[in-house]
Chains A and B, each alone.
Chain A
Amino acid sequence: MTPAPLAADENARLHALHALNLLDTPPAERFDRVVRFAAEQLEAPIALVTLVDRERQWFKSRVGLDVAETARDISFCGHAILKSELFVINDAYRDPRFADNPLVTGEPHVRFYAGAPLSTPDGHRIGTLCVIDTLPRRFGPMELAILEALRALVNDTLAGREEEE
């Protein structure tokens, strides 16, 4: 397993994350509605908005997962936030970075992961909108475009640019 590396801008990134005042806050519909929609449209049993803290990833919104956080070093999202592009693992069993990851070999038995890094307005990647499946999958252009579109909505929410229904 390759532990999730630290980001190049780690200190500034953590500062931006903590300034959002979202960690350890109660569920919020403005995030939950996007996560529910992602799970439904992408037919994924698990969908999350994660925030990658210094030593943990904490779930601001979650569908299909009972735990509120996991260690950062075993997180897929810790890898995803290293770049701004979507981070997709079609089959974690066949990826040497993740094959013996405890999230793959044990609960929740991650096989497929697609994460869209979330950014603060000043460009720090502080977490992801991600979907997870327990079966290997491959996303086509439609699924990738949906994830990109939903990422933009969550980024707008993080920036306080959300629109009311």
Chain B
Amino acid sequence: MGPPRILLVEPQFVLRRTLVAVGRDLGVVEFHEAASLERARMLLDVEAFHGLVLDFQDSDRALILLDELRKGGFASAPDAHVVVLAAALRPDEERRLQGVGVSMVLQRPFKIGQLLECLASGCAVPKALV
């Protein structure tokens, strides 16, 4: 079995490209990248992923996408792992993320190693915000 196929939705070019390259070089994650939610939606419609790493800057639209994922609206399994990248979360956003079963929230700025370790281990902190 190869490394997990993960859809990375991240607008910051340097972070996104570095994650893709490091995941590939170390053989721990096969990232597919999207710079926007629009692009992510197109990929989710046609491809299945083991998980999703999702920028949370546009929190409302990100939550709509996660709702759709959990309802089986995309090609991926409804219970696919989701890691959210967020600068700070309001209490209502935390509640909504818990409601859609997010595996982990990484607070920006974070180290690339933190994210890759989480993904490589199958996000061993299921159904809890950390």
Contact = CB atoms under 8 A, between A and B. Distances in A.
A41 B112 contact: yes
Q: Report whether over half of chain A's contact residues are helix, strand or loop; otherwise say mixed.
A: helix
A153 to B, nearest CB: 6
A37 to B, nearest CB: 5
B18 A150 contact: yes
A40 interface: yes
Contacts of A150: 14, 18
A8 interface: no
B90 interface: no
Contacts of A41: 18, 111-112
Interface string A132-165: 0000000001100110111011000000000111
A164 B26 contact: no
B111 A145 contact: no
A34 B15 CA distance: 9
Interface of A: 33-34, 37, 40-41, 141-142, 145-146, 148-150, 152-153, 163-165
